[in-house]
Amino acid sequence: MADPTDVGAAVGADEEDLSPKLKPSALSAVPAPIPCSGTSSIASEDISKALQVPTPVTWKHEGMTEPEHQRRRPRLRKEVRWGITAFVLVLILEYLVLPELAGFGHSLHLLSKVNVAYLVIGTALEAASLVAYAQLTHTVLPPDGPGRLRLLRIDLSSLAVSHILPGGTAPGTGLAYRLMTESGVSGADAGFALGTQGIGSAVVLNAIFWTALVISIPLNGYNPVYGIAAAAGALLLGVFAGIVILLTKGRHRVVETVHNLADKLPFLDADILSQQVQKVAERLKVLLGQRQLLVKAVLWAAANWLLDASSLWIFVEAFGHLVPPVDLLVAYGLANVLAFIPVTPGGLGVVEGVLITTLAGFGVPKGIAILGVLAYRLFNFWLPIPVGGAAYLSLRLGRPVPEG
For 111, half-sphere exposure in the C-beta direction (CA atoms, 13 angstrom radius) is: 10
Identify whether residues 21 and 125 lie together within a single domain.
no
Flag whether 88 is in a domain: no
Could you count the other beta carbons within 10 Å of the beta carbon of residue 262? 17
Flag whether 226 is in a domain: yes
Identify whether residues 165 and 287 lie together within a single domain.
yes
Identify whether residues 143 and 259 lie together within a single domain.
yes
Could you tell me if 337 and 232 are in contact, meaning their C-beta atoms sit under 8 angstroms apart?
Answer: yes
This prediction's pTM: 0.67
Which pLDDT belongs to residue 27?
Answer: 43
Identify whether residues 36 and 171 lie together within a single domain.
no
Which pLDDT belongs to residue 173?
Answer: 86
Q: What is the DSSP letter of 272?
A: H
Per-residue pLDDT of the chain (404 residues; tens, 9 = 90+): 445 444 444 444 444 444 444 444 444 444 444 444 444 444 445 444 444 544 444 444 444 444 444 444 444 455 555 555 655 655 555 445 555 555 555 556 667 788 999 999 999 999 999 999 999 999 989 888 899 999 999 999 999 999 988 776 778 888 999 999 999 998 888 888 887 888 788 889 988 988 988 888 887 777 676 776 677 667 766 766 676 666 666 666 766 776 677 667 665 566 666 665 666 666 666 666 677 888 899 999 999 999 999 999 999 999 989 999 999 999 999 899 888 777 778 888 889 989 999 999 889 998 899 899 999 999 999 999 999 999 999 998 876 444 33
Nearest Cα residue to 153 out of 399, 391, 384: 391
Q: How many residues does the chain have?
A: 404
Identify whether residues 297 and 379 lie together within a single domain.
yes
Identify whether residues 43 and 117 lie together within a single domain.
no
Identify whether residues 36 and 106 lie together within a single domain.
no
Which pLDDT belongs to residue 152?
Answer: 96
Flag whether 391 is in a domain: yes
Residues 6+ apart with CB under 8 A from 248: 281, 284, 285, 288
Query: Domain range holding 9?
Result: 4-51
Flag whether 80 is in a domain: no
Identify whether residues 32 and 181 lie together within a single domain.
no
How far is residue 356's CA from residue 214's CA, in Å, rounded to a whole number?
A: 21
**Backbone region of residue 286 per phi and psi (left: phi > 0; alpha: psi in -120 to 50; beta: other values):** alpha
> Helices in 4-65 by DSSP H: which ranges?
4-18, 24-28, 40-51
Identify whether residues 105 and 39 lie together within a single domain.
no
Identify whether residues 46 and 171 lie together within a single domain.
no
Flag whether 247 is in a domain: yes
Domain count, the chain: 2
Identify whether residues 249 and 363 lie together within a single domain.
yes
Could you count the other beta carbons within 10 Å of the beta carbon of residue 352? 23
Which pLDDT belongs to residue 279?
Answer: 62
Element of type H or E holding 83? helix 66-92
How far is residue 220's CA from residue 360's CA, in Å, rounded to a whole number?
A: 13
Nearest Cα residue to 108 out of 337, 388, 398, 375: 375
Flag whether 56 is in a domain: no
Task: Report the sign of the C-alpha dihedral through residues 29, 34, 40, 43, in that order.
Answer: negative
Flag whether 75 is in a domain: no
Identify whether residues 22 and 161 lie together within a single domain.
no
Flag whether 29 is in a domain: yes
